[in-house]
Structure 1
Amino acid sequence: MTTIAVTGHMDITDDSVPLVRGELDRVLAAYEPEGLVGLSCIAKGSDSVFAEAVLAAGGRLVVVLPSHDYREAKVKPEHVATFDRLVEAADEVLVMPHETASRQAYEAANRTLLERADRLVAVWNGQPPSGKGGGTADVVDEARGAGVPVDVVWPDGASRQA
């Protein structure tokens, strides 16, 4: 059994999605489907692309939601259908003990991802932390500090929305 968590940019461009998905498919192909577990907060962008790749690879999906109000407070209308479909497809849904979405809720979700993960996949352009905390670079730093192996995925041609 291999449990792989994801962190990544929410604002990858539409043109980047198939590039990222192709690279994620290649990364996940190295694992036996029956032993593959993917952990994701299923946010728009990298988290959802990873979750869909895990399911397509035959793995099990575990969704980690930062707060009880996450769907209502943070999921944008254009992402609701994907979000709901991924929650429905998940083997397990963990909701952090926070009523409202906040930095603390996101940090708790990220800690849970790293505590349960054997590896971390980071859909990340390699830029340093923004200083706000809880971003992709911060999660990568935390994983490396905790000894969790990190696979960085940022295929040629991938970009973030301006």
Structure 2
Amino acid sequence: MAVIAVTGHMDLTAGSIQPVRDALLDLLSEYPSDQLTGLSCIAKGADALFADVVLSLGGLLIAVIPSADYRKAKVKPDYAAEFDRLYEAATDVVVMPFATADREAYEAASNELLRRADRLVAVWDGQPGNGRGGTADTVAGAQAAAIPVDVVWPEGASRKG
């Protein structure tokens, strides 16, 4: 069984969605569907793309939600239906023991992903992080724990702003 976690940018440009999805599909297609379990916080962007690809390949999805208020506080209306779909499709949902979605909750969720994972997929532009619990921080944590990391940043991928 391959248990693969994801970390990645939420602010992918519209033109990045298909190249990132295709790169994730290429990477995850190597695993037989009955051997694939994906771990994702199912946030908008990289997390959601990864979760959707895992499900499309017939794998199992485990959602790790940073806090009890995450859906209400952080999921914007334009993403709510997709968040709910992925949440409902998950085989298991782990809600971290935090009332409020903040850096501490995000860091704990990232650590939970790494605790459970055999491998990490990072949809990452390679730039330094902007705080605890972010993509760069999660990649560094995986490397420190000797968890293999696959960086996915295909040609044409970019971030908003």
Q: What band does the TM-score fall into relative to the shorter chain?
A: over 0.9
Cα distance between partner residues in 2 of 1:115 and 1:88: 23
Q: Can you give the 5+ residue segments of structure 2 that lack an aligned partner in the other structure?
A: none
% identical equivalent positions: 60
Cα distance between partner residues in 2 of 1:145 and 1:50: 23
Q: Give the alignment's Cα RMSD to 1 decimal.
A: 0.6
Which aligned segments of 4 or more residues in structure 1 are displaced greater than 6 angstroms? none
Cα distance between partner residues in 2 of 1:138 and 1:17: 23
Alignment length, in residue pairs?
A: 161
Q: For residue 15 of structure 1, give the secondary structure of its aligned residue in structure 2.
A: helix
Alignment of 1:24-39 (within 5 A): 24-39=24-39
TM-score by length of 2: 0.98
Give the deviation of 1:106 after TM superposition: 0.7
Cα distance between partner residues in 2 of 1:134 and 1:64: 13
**What letter is aligned with 1:143?**
A
Q: For residue 64 of structure 1, give the secondary structure of its aligned residue in structure 2.
A: strand
**What letter is aligned with 1:119?**
R
Which residue of the partner structure matches residue 65 of structure 1? 65
Q: Can you give the 5+ residue segments of structure 1 that lack an aligned partner in the other structure?
A: none
Q: For residue 14 of structure 2, give the secondary structure of its aligned residue in structure 1.
A: coil
Question: 2:156 aligned with 1:161, yes or no?
Answer: no
Alignment of 1:18-57 (within 5 A): 18-57=18-57
Q: Is the 8 A contact 2:37 2:62 kept in 1?
A: yes
TM-score by length of 1: 0.98
Cα distance between partner residues in 2 of 1:129 and 1:98: 23
Which residue of the partner structure matches residue 92 of structure 2? 92
**What letter is aligned with 1:97?**
P
